[in-house]
Chain A
């Protein structure tokens, strides 16, 4: 299984500075000269820290974890949230160091307090799973809320699930729906699939076959086998979506190919009821289909 998610990172501040520089130099030469010198000076002051971070990143990419640790540790001690987050990852994943969940947590808490949403999300996941620490759903929810409020889509999905299961928080179908909806809109395929089920069953929301089909289709298009099976069945029956046997068979074939057993049974039953040319058409479409990167 892969994670197909939209990128949540935005461009860094350096590219924005360069962009505004170009605009300014074209208009008012003297003023822009003054601003340019100011910016260059600011850049010079910033550069060492950035260079150290980059040196750490390059070392990390080359598997030179000892150097990455050294570079990032200096920055982390000075309060650089990203360096703190990355150090936490190295301890969590056991990269070049002995895996140490407590050290990972300590660095992530420092980064999370500086509003690093990746650290907040990972802390939520750590308390949810409890590997090396005690499972603590209340702590998990508290970190997931912080990351969700900062727009981390995968955290929003997890938070929605915590509300729907009543883990670490009072069960609340409306809150569950709202958070899962936000994650689905950001492209988290598990959230889209879950939303399909929520609309199908009318949990915390009016039952809506059309919306259910729409969200199952969205997750299916991202390559999620369970959703491909659901939309295949709905297209075959014309349930919440216009009946289309070729498309139905295509999705069932794709789902089966990913190892979904029930989809295999559904595919077999549907194919037996259809003309050979329709089956051939579906097969061709399934063969041409590619999961998005």
Chain B
């Protein structure tokens, strides 16, 4: 991933992710991510737990530790301001479902590989980017950065950056493509349909 693109992504996020929070400290943010990683390991590494139960546990973990309201608002971009109150509330609940479904499936199958914090640095005015390394049984480790913010004493994740690619920036550009063709109403309808995709089938 292009370094300049990465910086540009963060600047873009910084413009929206401002206001209403105290600055997180590196130590607290690191502790939060380490703690989250041990909870994830406990869930994912458990033996004899069926996949759908693991996914449910991951979903819980994600919904408690990600600020999905703020992320959803950012991802909608300029369209948020033009959306009606009813559209905003419909969008937020569909967005949450969409994100939780996507990521609980993506992470639910990890067998609980080692997850080490490799560093932390401030990002934007209030946030800390905690870098981690996730070992894999084969292939190089995954490098993931977690953007953490403290709000009323609680820490929340605002973005995940894997191999230099920001989750929220990617999502935002995908949504923008739908909005440019069909408007916010169309995006809402599209999200409503997306959750009807079939998952793996038994015989």
Contacts and interface: CB of A to CB of B under 8 A. Distances in A.
B190 interface: yes
B194 A93 contact: no
Contact of B193 (A50, A62, A118, A158): A158
Contacts of A157: 193, 196
Contacts of A5: 196
A143 interface: no
Contacts of B189: 161, 165
A62 B111 CA distance: 10
A214 to B, nearest CB: 22
B193 A125 contact: yes
4 nearest A-B residue pairs (beta carbon): A118-B198, A154-B196, A86-B200, A93-B105
Nearest to A54: B203
Contacts of B89: 259-261
B201 interface: yes
Interface in A197-226: none
Interface stretch (B69-77, B126-134, B149-157, B173-181): B173-181
Given A62-B51, A135-B181, 9 more contacts: A1-B93, A5-B196, A9-B201, A61-B51, A63-B51, A130-B174, A154-B196, A158-B193, A161-B193
Contact of A61 (B50, B93, B203): B50
Interface string B116-149: 0000000000000000000000000000000000
Nearest to A153: B196
A125 B196 contact: yes
B201 A94 contact: no
A276 interface: no
B contacts with A: majority SS: helix
A250 interface: no
Contacts of A148: none
Contacts of A1: 93-94, 97, 195
Contact of B197 (A9, A125, A167): A125
A135 B194 contact: no
A82 interface: yes
A85 B197 CA distance: 12
Interface string B61-95: 00000000000000000000000011001000110
A47 B27 CA distance: 58
Interface of B: 50-51, 54, 85-86, 89, 93-94, 97, 102, 105-106, 108-111, 174, 177-178, 181-182, 186, 189-190, 192-203
A86 B196 contact: no
21 contacts: A1-B93, A1-B97, A1-B195, A53-B203, A60-B200, A61-B51, A62-B51, A63-B51, A82-B201, A93-B102, A93-B105, A121-B197, A125-B197, A128-B190, A129-B174, A130-B174, A130-B178, A131-B174, A135-B181, A158-B196, A167-B182
Contacts of A65: 109
A192 interface: no
Q: Determine which residue in B50, B51, B192, B198 has the highest number of CB atoms from chain A within 10 A of its CB, and name it.
A: B198
A157 B93 CA distance: 20
Nearest to A117: B198
B203 A57 contact: yes
Nearest to B181: A135
A99 to B, nearest CB: 7
